């Protein structure tokens, strides 16, 4: 990312565990100061913040439900005051649910899924653009949305609703990238496959990565650090001509 801000400031949502935590720590190692958003687990977020500080970088822990506009506005205000002008956003916060067919799902489940996975990412992107876009007097920056290969596989008989929410993220990424291409902001998405993180436990399948890993062409599940590496590349100046990309990091799945 060609940005005059030094050090650049990054917000990672859902940074208390898994891909978000790995991204925050790797970004710090690469020179970013990091705002770490979390939903509930303060201790986990603080532990990640200590790992960021161990890299010699500043860390700010900010609690917010990403689909709550008032909380998102408060979070960005805290970052403005506590760290300074934002240069990067990783929209990582998201949820799955227990495996279920579409004809077994409730509207409440769908509303929660789309509220957090889609509206949350759009809200955070909106506020980031209001700070980074040259249209708004910003210095430019980069947004990376965390999607999923489920967006193209569909996740039949598992969680079609989750797959659909990530399909929405793919469309959002492409459209937003084109919308702000002349404003100094790049927008891309990383689509992980089966990765060993705690998200599987929250979906009722803590052993999912171990069980399904051998079915991946590379015959293993991915690691959070491997996804973080792709995210941080898209944030970096090495990806200066990359926008609107959907980068699969899925072991060939």
pLDDT tens profile 161-217:
999 999 999 999 999 999 999 999 999 999 999 999 876 556 566 777 787 888 899
- Region 237-253: mean pLDDT is 97
Residue 4 resides in a domain: no
User: pTM of the predicted model, to two decimals?
Assistant: 0.94
> Does the pLDDT value for residue 4 go beyond 50?
no
Residue 131 structural domain: 9-249
> Any catalytic annotation for residue 159?
no
Please tell me the distance from the alpha carbon of residue 4 to that of residue 250, in angstroms, as a whole number. Answer: 33
Residue 199 lies in a domain: yes
So what's the pLDDT on residue 21?
98
If you average pLDDT over every residue of the chain, what do you get? 94
Is it the case that residue 31 has pLDDT exceeding 80? yes
Residue whose token pair is 């919308």:
179
CB of 33 closer than 8 Å to CB of 10: yes
Is 206 inside a domain boundary?
yes
| pLDDT attached to residue 152 | 97
Whether 3 maps to a domain, the answer reads: no
Confidence band for 6, pLDDT divided at 50, 70 and 90 = low
pLDDT at 188: 99
* pLDDT tens by residue, 49-72: 999 999 999 999 999 999 999 999
- Is 106 a member of any domain? yes
Query: pLDDT grade, residue 137 (50/70/90)?
Result: very high
Domains in the chain: how many in total? 1
Q: Quick one: pLDDT at residue 135?
A: 98
Residue 229, pLDDT above cutoff 60: yes
pLDDT at 103 over 90: yes
Q: Would 2 be classed as within a structural domain?
A: no
Phi, psi dihedral angles at 11 (to 5 degrees): -105, 125
In a domain, 212, yes or no: yes
Phi and psi, residue 185, nearest 5° = -120, 125
On the question of pLDDT at 86 being above 70, the answer is yes
> For residue 99, what is the domain's CATH number?
3.40.50.720
Task: Say if 1 falls within a structural domain.
Answer: no
What is the pLDDT averaged over residues 94-113?
A: 97
Crossing angle of the two packed helices 18-29 and 224-235, in degrees rounded to 10: 50
CA distances from 208 to 43, 111, 200 (A): 26, 25, 6
């Amino acid at each position: 990312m060609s940005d005059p801000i030094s050090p650049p400031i990054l917000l990672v949502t859902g940074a208390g565990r898994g891909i978000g935590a790995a991204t925050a720590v790797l970004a710090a190692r690469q020179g970013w100061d990091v705002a770490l958003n979390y939903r509930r687990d303060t201790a986990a977020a603080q532990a990640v913040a200590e790992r960021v500080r161990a890299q010699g970088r500043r860390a700010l822990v900010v609690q917010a439900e990403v689909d709550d506009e008032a909380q998102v506005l408060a979070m960005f205000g805290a970052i403005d005051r506590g760290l300074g002008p934002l240069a990067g956003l990783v929209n990582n916060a998201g949820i799955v649910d227990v495996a279920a067919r579409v004809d077994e799902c409730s509207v409440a489940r769908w509303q929660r899924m789309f509220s957090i996975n889609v509206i949350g990412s759009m809200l955070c992107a909106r506020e980031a653009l209001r700070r980074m876009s040259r249209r708004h007097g910003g210095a430019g920056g980069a947004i990376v949305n965390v999607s999923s290969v489920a967006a193209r596989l569909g996740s039949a008989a598992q969680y079609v609703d989750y797959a659909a929410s990530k399909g929405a993220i793919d469309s959002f990424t492409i459209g937003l990238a084109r919308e702000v291409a002349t404003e100094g902001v790049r927008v891309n998405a990383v689509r992980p496959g089966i990765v060993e993180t705690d998200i599987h436990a929250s979906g009722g399948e803590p052993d999912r990565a171990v069980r399904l890993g051998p079915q991946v062409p590379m015959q293993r599940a991915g690691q959070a650090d491997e996804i973080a590496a792709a995210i941080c590349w898209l944030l970096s100046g090495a990806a200066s001509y990359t926008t609107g990309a959907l980068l699969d990091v899925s072991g060939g799945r």
